[in-house]
């Protein structure tokens, strides 16, 4: 047997010889590698133990992870349905807390919706108020425009002022003269009512307009009466400039008589209302 081993393993043959001559040392030599192997194995086992511990730790981690991941999965289930999961139904306090939380959430959502609706209502009311305000402003502007006064003639020269004296006037001049060509448009100075229209002696053809406050406006020496009665708007044409009555040339003689009484200076009266003839 040794011969067959010898060619293949010369060293082994030598060792075999040594084993035969010195069994003890050989044993110790054999034991030594064994011991060494053990020594090597020990750390390996120690290292092996670590993975084992690691596996345990991983298992624990997995277990923990499994538990941790199971918990959030279970939590929505509580919120989703009123039924507590089997694992948690054991704790009625927790289920009750979840139910209370759900109710609180529901109430909070309802409160949010209520606040949202309230805000929408307020915005709508605000928009409506704004629209009403704009309408009111437009109406007031229209009213102001209607109430606004305008000069009775557009293209003119003032040829005589109030209070002047002249040989052809019986008294001091009672009006303001707007000299303009015959046929020039005469406009109502303000919104009012034509209360008189026709021939009036020295005044020639005359229109009397009464304003809402009772002030009478006399338009005299007209060549034509366009509006002889009824309501007129401010700036509406009511007649044409002429030279009828006691005149030396075509012009509009304008008189202002508050309350239908004595005349006042038309220039002052117009200036007090923002117009500068
Ligand atoms: Zn005059």
277 in any annotated domain: no
- Rounded to the nearest angstrom, the distance between the alpha carbon of 158 and the centre of ligand 1 is 10
Q: For the segment 136-159, what is each residue's pLDDT rounded down to a tens digit?
A: 998 888 777 667 899 999 999 999
For the entire predicted model, the pTM comes to 0.53
Could you tell me if residue 32 is inside a domain? yes
- Is residue 276 situated within a structural domain? no
What is the strand order of the sheet 192-199 is part of? 157-160, 176-179, 251-257, 216-222, 205-210, 192-199, 230-232
Provide the domain count of the chain: 3
Asked whether 251 and 220 are in contact (CB, 8 A), the reply is no
What pLDDT is attached to residue 90? 61
Residues 255-273: tens digit of each pLDDT: 999 999 999 999 999 999 9
For residues 69 and 133, membership in a common domain is answered with no
Query: Does some domain include residue 141?
Result: yes
Residues 180 and 266 grouped into a single domain: yes
Residues 17, 48: one domain? yes
The residue segments making up the domain with residue 233 are 157-271
Q: What's the chain's length in residues?
A: 277
User: Residue 51 has which token pair?
Assistant: 């993975």
Q: Which residues pair with 177 in a beta bridge?
A: 160, 253
CATH code: domain of residue 197 = 2.70.70.10
Residue 79 within any structural domain of the chain: no
Q: Do 162 and 243 fall into the same domain?
A: yes
Ligand 1 centroid, distance to 145 Cα (angstroms): 28
Separation CA 72–CA 75 (nearest Å): 5
- Strand order of the β-sheet with 185-187 is 185-187, 237-240, 224-225
Nearest to residue 265, comparing CAs of 153, 195, 160, 180? 160
Predicted local distance difference test score (pLDDT) of residue 97: 82
The tokens for 225 are 């009466």
What is the CA(193)–ligand 1 centre distance, in A?
22
**Do the domain assignments include residue 166?**
yes
219 C-alpha vs ligand 1 centroid, how far in Å?
Answer: 10
Q: How far is the CA of 133 from the centre of ligand 1 (A)?
A: 45
**Strand (E) or helix (H) holding 196:** strand 192-199
| Residues 170 and 247 grouped into a single domain | yes
- Each residue's pLDDT, cut to its tens digit, for the chain (277 residues) gives 444 444 444 444 444 444 444 445 444 444 444 444 444 544 444 444 444 444 444 444 444 444 444 444 444 444 444 544 554 556 777 888 888 888 888 787 888 888 899 999 999 999 999 999 999 998 888 777 667 899 999 999 999 999 988 666 567 899 999 999 999 999 999 999 999 999 999 999 999 999 999 999 999 999 999 999 999 999 999 999 999 999 999 999 999 999 999 999 999 999 999 999 9
- Ligand 1 centroid from CA 181, angstroms: 15
Q: Compute, in angstroms, the gap from residue 157 CA to the centroid of ligand 1.
A: 12
239 part of a folded domain: yes
User: Is 152 within the bounds of a domain?
Assistant: no
Bridge partners, 219 (sequence order): 207, 254
């Amino acid at each position: 047997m040794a011969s067959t081993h010898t060619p293949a393993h010369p060293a082994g043959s030598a060792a075999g010889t040594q084993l035969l001559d010195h069994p003890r040392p050989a044993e110790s030599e054999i034991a030594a590698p064994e011991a060494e192997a053990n020594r090597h194995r020990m750390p390996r086992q120690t290292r092996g133990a670590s993975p084992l511990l690691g596996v345990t730790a991983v298992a624990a981690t997995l277990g923990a992870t499994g538990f941790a991941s199971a918990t959030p999965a279970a939590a929505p289930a509580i919120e989703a349905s009123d039924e507590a999961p089997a694992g948690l139904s054991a704790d009625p306090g927790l289920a009750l807390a979840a139910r209370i939380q759900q109710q609180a959430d529901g109430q909070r959502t309802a409160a949010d919706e209520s606040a949202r609706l309230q805000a929408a209502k307020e915005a709508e009311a605000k928009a409506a108020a704004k629209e009403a305000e704009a309408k009111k402003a437009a109406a007031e502007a229209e009213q102001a425009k209607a109430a606004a006064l305008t000069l009775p003639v557009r293209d003119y020269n003032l040829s005589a002022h109030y209070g002047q004296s002249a040989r052809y006037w019986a008294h001091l001049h009672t009006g303001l003269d707007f000299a303009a060509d015959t046929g020039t448009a005469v406009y109502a100075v303000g919104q009012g009512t034509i209360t008189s229209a026709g021939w009036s002696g020295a005044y020639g053809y005359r229109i009397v307009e009464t304003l809402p406050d009772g002030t009478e406006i006399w338009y005299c020496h007209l060549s034509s009466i366009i509006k002889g009665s009824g309501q007129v708007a401010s700036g509406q044409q009511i007649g044409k400039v002429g030279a009828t009555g006691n005149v030396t040339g075509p012009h509009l003689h304008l008189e202002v008589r508050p309350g239908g009484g004595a005349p006042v200076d038309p220039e002052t009266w117009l200036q007090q209302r923002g117009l500068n003839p």
